[in-house]
Structure 1
Amino acid sequence: MSIMTAEKAGAKIVEWYSCVIAKSHDQAILLKEEVKQLLSEMKDNDKILAYYSLVEFRHDMLINRYNKNKLQADFQNIEHIAKIDNMLKYLYYFVSGQSEYVNERYRSAIKLFNKAQRLLEYVNDEAEEAEFYQYSGLVYYRLNQYLVAASHIEHAKVIFDRLEYTEPSLNCQIVLAGIYQELHNPKKAEDILLDGLEKATDNDVMLGLINRSLGLNKLGIKDYNQAEFYFRQALSFKVHKDAAVGAKTTYNLSNVLFNQGKHEEAMKQFKAAHAGAKYYKNHEYMARCLATEGLHIKKDYSLVDTAIDDLNRLGLDFEVAEVAEEAANFAEKEGNDKLTLKYLKTAYKARLFQNTLGDDQQ
């Protein structure tokens, strides 16, 4: 009886896992409960329990939208399990990499994804292959390796389109648009995002994310009025506003309001963004809030320096360059040539580093 239950539990975990990859929220929740029931009827089986804990983490990522307060990377270690199959090894390294990604440890995530990639040939599932390339592309994107990121994301999108997985495909479009934006082609980025906006139709999650990305694209070319419009559009979707990404969008909105001289409304949004960054433990945006506080509120460049140090520790070279360039613009307007030169040098150095991968990222 226990052998049959283990086989049934394993098959049900595979079915559950497929729904997680396809972003079928409601079905994934139902299948998780079915799996838990089967596990309660099964004698202890380390391999099945390991599969369950790994898929559960990915399930929680889907349901909780990257809220670190609700994600616990306490999935079962596989080292002690006898006769570990390659699929379990792959899943262990991949999910461990996803955990590092959620916690903004991108260099560590790449190491784990590289280990997973060496086992990818044993994964006979197109959806899983697409999900792997999507996440590895995301991490390369965060490490400013745009050509590698684009290659991975495009590969994932081709598979998602073939499988008709709409939401994952749209997520790939958002990342590709971000890459074009970083490569100074905002028109191409906007075209990709507007195409995605048409495809998203009644998917509030994707409509929020795409509007946010359109806002970031406009912010990149200092079109603050249009950026404000798109950020407000994104925050009009409750599912976006109430998620971790909503705190980021609120910060971006406060930033464009400060830059338009709308100080009172900007302060209101800034306070909400700062509280959100702390609640969601988003270290990048806590640093960005500190820089904004230094430039727009307290007029204290030492806060900007602390923010840059924090971003450097996170290995976020592009973000360092963005903050430093904004500080240089402020200093230039004030006629402070010494500070202007200081921050321009910081930005230049960060731009050089953003196109390299250190030994610890291989």
Structure 2
Amino acid sequence: MAIISAEQVGNRLNDWRIAIRKHDVQSANAMYTELKQLLQEMEENQEVLTYYSLLEGKYKLMIYERRGKTLKEQTELDCPSKTNDLIEYYFYLYKALYASYNRDYASAIGLFKIAEKKLQNIPDEIEVAEFHTKIANLYMLLRQSLISLHYIQNAVDIFKSHEGYERRLASAFVISAANYMDIGDFTRAENYYKKALHIADSLNDRFLASQLFHNISILYAEAGESKKCIDALEQALSDENYLSSCYFHHTMFMLVKELLSIDERTQALYYFELVNQKHESEKCPIYTAKLNLLYHLYFTEDMSQKAQACFEEISILKELKDAEGACELSALAAKHFEDLGAIHQAYLFLKEAYHMNHPIFEWRNSNEKNEFIVHRFNHCRFRTNSVFQFVK
């Protein structure tokens, strides 16, 4: 068997890197298969192998973002020797992205800062745009909207000036929309979503369109437009490939929650059954807990059993590091129990929501329960759990 030079494989890895950056799933998949074979025939070269391992990590993250394929535990890589600026940059970028995927946001910020310093040695506009997109996504998740908007506008300007990066531009529009939603500018947020949907239509990319319909449904839920929210979620679920992705669980949870919010219980029960059938073949612990909580909240009659079951599911969410989900559903439970006249249970869930949203918050005195009763609960102050898709 002829030995292939490391330089030849390195050049092909560069082609793969560009396909990954463009979110060109078809080309990236084909090259991944090709490169695994080439590496078996390549002369020994540790730098090329490290480059491949880092690109493989980026590729798998891209497939998760673009096709909803769940990530498995990643192999821990050693820090590369200071010989190649791009490999060094990718090492810290990938570690930052994987930390963010695992909801370890404190570590992710530190790693992004190291990667940003390494990026200064790489004269590549698209790499700059990609970095700005990913760190903007992190700050968006952390509700640092103005910082996120600063980064994402830089990415938008760069992607607009390069052909072939339409999908990345759509990703940037989603981050912009999410930030404007956070600061209450729903009109501008909707405009950005519509721009992204126009890109998906022009590319005839149904999976991308489904992700976008899911994302815009979050905006409609925030704005209290349940019909538009439900219509968008049903459009998201119209693509067969989307139904077989991990994003199915995200969208189904949103759909069931919105149906229950307008007391469409019969239709919600129909979707509960669909999810249960899906769970038989593919478990998703976070969304199992969320849907179980919704079921107990709306269909368990005994008030004490209802509250206990809901608290158990919230504990599971906290163990799974879904603090936002635990906070949102605690707030939802508080509002629900208040509507039922169960003020004591409502108080406990509202307290839980505040502790999740403000970990250092302490109740000042025993009269706060009475202050809560007078205050009346306002669920709108808690943002709907977003689970924005593909924007990393």
TM over 0.5: yes
Aligned to 2:55: 55
- Secondary structure at the counterpart of residue 163 of structure 1: coil
The Cα offsets for residues 34-53 of structure 1, whole Å up to 9 and x where unpaired, read as 43343233222111111111
Aligned to 1:343: 349
Task: Give the superposed CA RMSD.
Answer: 2.8
- In structure 2, the CA distance between the partners of 1:221 and 1:85, relative to structure 1 (3 Å rule), is same
- Give the alignment partner of residue 340 of structure 2, picking from 310, 334, 356: 334
Normalized per residue, which structure has more helix?
1
CA distance in 2, matches of 1:3, 1:223: 62
Aligned to 2:213: 211
CA distance in 2, matches of 1:99, 1:45: 26
One-letter code aligned to 1:36: K
- In structure 2, the CA distance between the partners of 1:132 and 1:330, relative to structure 1 (3 Å rule), is same
- Give the alignment partner of residue 260 of structure 2, picking from 258, 261, 284: 258
CA distance in 1, matches of 2:56, 2:254: 32
Structure 1 gaps, min length 5: 355-362
- Secondary structure at the counterpart of residue 161 of structure 2: helix
One-letter code aligned to 1:130: A
- Secondary structure at the counterpart of residue 120 of structure 2: helix
- In structure 2, the CA distance between the partners of 1:30 and 1:67, relative to structure 1 (3 Å rule), is closer
Aligned pairs for 1:4-15 (under 5 A) are: 5-15=5-15
One-letter code aligned to 2:154: H
One-letter code aligned to 2:74: A
Aligned to 1:117: 116
Q: Which has the higher contact order (CA 8 A, sep 6+)?
A: 2
- In structure 2, the CA distance between the partners of 1:48 and 1:314, relative to structure 1 (3 Å rule), is same
**Contact 1:51/1:88, CA 8 A, preserved across alignment:** yes
**Contact 1:5/1:38, CA 8 A, preserved across alignment:** no
Structure 2 gaps, min length 5: 361-392
**Contact 1:5/1:42, CA 8 A, preserved across alignment:** yes
CA distance in 2, matches of 1:236, 1:278: 21
Compute the displacement of 1:316 (Å).
4.8
TM-score, scaled relative to structure 2: 0.79
TM-score, scaled relative to structure 1: 0.85
Aligned pairs for 1:46-125 (under 5 A) are: 46-64=46-64, 65-68=67-70, 71-74=72-75, 77-79=77-79, 82-125=81-124
CA distance in 1, matches of 2:356, 2:185: 20
CA distance in 2, matches of 1:74, 1:177: 34
CA distance in 1, matches of 2:223, 2:238: 23
Compute the displacement of 1:220 (Å).
1.6
- In structure 2, the CA distance between the partners of 1:276 and 1:47, relative to structure 1 (3 Å rule), is farther
Aligned pairs for 1:1-362 (under 5 A) are: 5-64=5-64, 65-68=67-70, 71-74=72-75, 77-79=77-79, 82-164=81-163, 165-201=165-201, 202-273=204-275, 284-298=286-300, 300-313=306-319, 316-352=322-358
Aligned residue pairs total 350
CA distance in 1, matches of 2:159, 2:233: 27
- Which stretch has the larger CA shift, 286-295 or 12-21? 286-295
**Contact 1:317/1:353, CA 8 A, preserved across alignment:** no
One-letter code aligned to 2:206: D
